[in-house]
């Protein structure tokens, strides 16, 4: 906990928080890391395999094969979310399934399914990007900043 | 009658004429499955939303409790209920179905004992012949409102708890056969500054300890008076902290009588992390399991300390800490 936050707490609260912390089960960080590495790596390997299939059998080039590969991974992820399997895999794999594009697809699909009961406009449409909205907003914003920096450097004759 | 600072002693000892416990498919896999009146195979209960499913659970719980007591819903003079949904819709909509006078309450997961204590107070003061106290929670509806969509693949820490899908109701009357409500201790809000919504047990333990201590101090009795002292939904993490805190404060509760509904309801093989939570946790375990054991004569006196975390999804996002409360009700055969 940050020291700034700690200052606001009374001595009794601080004492209790230390008392409780000692009795909390620890997050299994090492096994979580290993699981995330294995599952995340597996997803990426599947992606690589898909990309090779698209290049070899469907006349894609290394530059263009990325799009259909991502599309297939997204479809698999959305399907597993709809079948109610993805959250169980996510609990086991942690960051392994959250970080790749499959995790992003899951946030959109799960929110869309969840709010189906409130109708298509206010429910599905309005809540679909509830979780992924900030990823999109800050993703686009940081891309914009990076692009400006790149243009500025080029303009100054840097590249 | 008030005794001590915040304990009510009910001289006329309102009778718990009937009680009911309804559960979902996950509860059916647990060790207490036999103590439920109805166990649903489908979390949707044939409804088109989780919220409607929760309302259905509560309606059924009320219906069964009334039926078991051999009464009709017109006989119920007051209905007290609370739940976790925004604006306690499950309770209000059930009250609409019942048609009796309704007092909506909110104490998060402590609503079960808050309702029972107030119903006992109403019956004890002869303000009603029959009063019904109910509460419900639904795993998916609670996840949707408080956390993430149910199918979202986020990883939960080992301190997280699983919201019970179920409902429980207790019907109190002035006279009749059955366990009696003898006293109730109303809790204070205790906030130890914890703000992790995935560790409710740790946040609520001090509130439970505060109410338990007040109960024994006000009544001047010893924990050995009870056969079971059960907290509502502290789970394994909170139960351990509460046990240690009570020991440190010099109140020795024998470990064989001190338990937690959130630990009892699910088996060790079920993936619920630290245990169960939700209004229905203490309600179904008390109104199903414990009342059945009392009727079988296995236990005679129980103290249920239902714990509640009074946060909202908004307050948590605004970095507020979690205020907690616990209400204790003693039931004796």
Could you report the per-residue pLDDT of B289-333, keeping only the tens digit for each?
999 999 999 999 999 999 999 999 999 999 999 999 999 999 999
For chain B, give the percent of residues with pLDDT over 90: 95
Does residue B138 share a domain with residue B272? Answer: no
Residue A124 near chain B (CB below 8 Å): no
Q: Which pLDDT score is estimated for A29? A: 93
Domain end point (choices B143, B173, B203): B173
Asked whether the predicted pLDDT for residue B204 surpasses 90, the reply is yes
Does residue B88 share a domain with residue B164? Answer: yes
Residue of chain A nearest B192, judged by CA positions: A13
Does residue B200 share a domain with residue B149? Answer: no
**Beta-strand pair B38-39/B78-83:** unpaired
Does residue B190 share a domain with residue B153? Answer: no
Asked whether the predicted pLDDT for residue B170 surpasses 60, the reply is yes
pLDDT band at A1 (very low <50, low <70, confident <90, very high): very low
Q: Which pLDDT score is estimated for A9? A: 86
CB B59 within 8 A of CB B45: no
Angle (CA) B109 B114 B115, round 5°: 105
Task: Determine the Cα–Cα distance for residues B34 and B21; give it in Å rounded to an integer.
Answer: 10
Secondary structure of residue B23 in the 3-state scheme: strand
Does residue B96 share a domain with residue B186? Answer: no
Does residue B229 share a domain with residue B101? Answer: no
CB within 8 Å of A13: residues ≥ 6 apart: B191, B192, B193
Domain holding B74, by residue range, is 2-173
Mean pLDDT, residues B69-94 taken together: 96
pLDDT band at A6 (very low <50, low <70, confident <90, very high): low
Asked if A95 and B155 come within 8 Å (Cβ–Cβ), the reply is: yes
Mean pLDDT, residues B199-205 taken together: 94
Could you report the per-residue pLDDT of B259-298, keeping only the tens digit for each?
999 999 999 899 899 999 999 999 999 999 999 999 999 9
Q: Which pLDDT score is estimated for A26? A: 87
Q: Which pLDDT score is estimated for A157? A: 83
Does residue B88 share a domain with residue B41? Answer: yes
Does residue B289 share a domain with residue B259? Answer: yes
Q: How many domains does chain B have?
A: 2
Asked whether the predicted pLDDT for residue B154 surpasses 50, the reply is yes
Mean pLDDT, residues A48-61 taken together: 94
Does residue B83 share a domain with residue B216? Answer: no
Does residue B163 share a domain with residue B203? Answer: no
For chain A, give the percent of residues with pLDDT over 70: 95
Chain B partners within 8 Å of A17 (Cβ): 192-194
Chain A partners within 8 Å of B237 (Cβ): 23-25
Write down the ipTM of this complex.
0.86
CB A105 within 8 A of CB A77: yes
Domain end point (choices B152, B173, B194): B173
Provide the Cα torsion B266, B272, B278, B282; round to 10°. Answer: 20
Does residue B228 share a domain with residue B150? Answer: no
Residue of chain A nearest B142, judged by CA positions: A114
Domain end point (choices B145, B173, B201): B173
Could you report the per-residue pLDDT of A79-88, keeping only the tens digit for each?
999 999 999 9
Residue of chain A nearest B245, judged by CA positions: A19
**What CATH number should be reported for the domain holding residue B139?**
3.40.47.40
Chain B partners within 8 Å of A14 (Cβ): 193
Asked if A20 and B148 come within 8 Å (Cβ–Cβ), the reply is: no
Per-domain residue ranges of chain A: 60-128, 132-159
């Amino acid at each position: 906990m940050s020291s700034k936050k700690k200052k606001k707490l009374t001595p009794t609260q601080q004492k209790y928080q230390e008392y409780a912390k000692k009795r909390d089960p620890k997050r299994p960080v090492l096994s979580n890391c290993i699981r995330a590495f294995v599952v995340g790596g597996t997803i990426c390997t599947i992606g690589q395999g898909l990309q090779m299939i698209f290049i070899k059998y469907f006349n894609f080039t290394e530059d263009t094969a990325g799009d259909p590969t991502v599309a297939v991974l997204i479809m698999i992820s959305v399907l597993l979310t709809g079948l109610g399997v993805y959250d169980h895999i996510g609990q086991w794999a942690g960051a392994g399934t959250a970080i790749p594009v499959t995790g992003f697809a899951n946030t959109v699909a799960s929110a869309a399914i969840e709010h189906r009961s409130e109708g298509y406009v206010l429910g599905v449409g309005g809540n679909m990007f509830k979780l992924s909205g900030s990823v999109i907003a800050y993703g686009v914003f940081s891309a914009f900043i990076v692009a400006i920096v790149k243009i500025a450097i080029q303009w100054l004759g840097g590249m | 009658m008030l005794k001590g600072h915040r304990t009510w002693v009910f001289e006329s000892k309102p009778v718990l004429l009937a009680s009911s416990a309804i559960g979902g498919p996950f509860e059916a896999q647990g060790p207490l499955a036999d103590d439920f009146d109805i166990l649903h195979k489908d979390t949707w209960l044939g409804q088109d939303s989780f919220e409607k499913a929760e309302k259905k659970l509560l309606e059924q719980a009320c219906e069964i409790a009334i039926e078991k007591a051999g009464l009709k819903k017109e006989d119920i003079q007051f209905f007290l209920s609370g739940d976790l949904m925004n604006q306690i819709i499950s309770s209000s909509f059930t009250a609409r179905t019942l048609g009796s006078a309704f007092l909506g309450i909110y104490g998060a997961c402590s609503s079960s004992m808050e309702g029972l204590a107030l119903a006992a107070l109403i019956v004890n003061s002869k303000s009603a012949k029959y009063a019904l106290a109910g509460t419900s929670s639904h795993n998916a509806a609670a996840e949707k409102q408080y956390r993430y969509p149910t199918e979202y693949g986020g990883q939960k820490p080992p301190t997280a708890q699983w919201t019970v899908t179920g409902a429980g109701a207790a019907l109190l009357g002035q006279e009749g056969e059955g366990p009696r409500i003898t006293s109730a201790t109303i809790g204070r809000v205790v906030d130890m500054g914890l703000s992790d919504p995935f560790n409710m047990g740790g946040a609520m333990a001090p509130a439970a300890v505060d109410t338990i201590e007040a109960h024994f101090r006000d009544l001047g009795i010893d924990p050995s008076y009870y056969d079971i002292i059960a907290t509502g939904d502290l789970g394994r993490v909170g139960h351990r902290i509460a046990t240690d805190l009570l020991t440190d404060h010099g109140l020795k509760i024998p470990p064989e009588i001190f338990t937690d509904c959130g630990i009892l309801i699910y088996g060790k093989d079920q993936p619920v992390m630290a245990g169960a939570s939700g209004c229905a946790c203490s309600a179904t375990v008390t109104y199903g399991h414990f009342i059945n054991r009392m009727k079988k004569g296995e236990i005679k006196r129980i103290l249920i300390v239902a714990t509640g975390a009074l946060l909202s999804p908004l307050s948590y996002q605004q970095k507020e800490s979690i205020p907690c409360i616990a209400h204790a009700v003693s039931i004796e055969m």
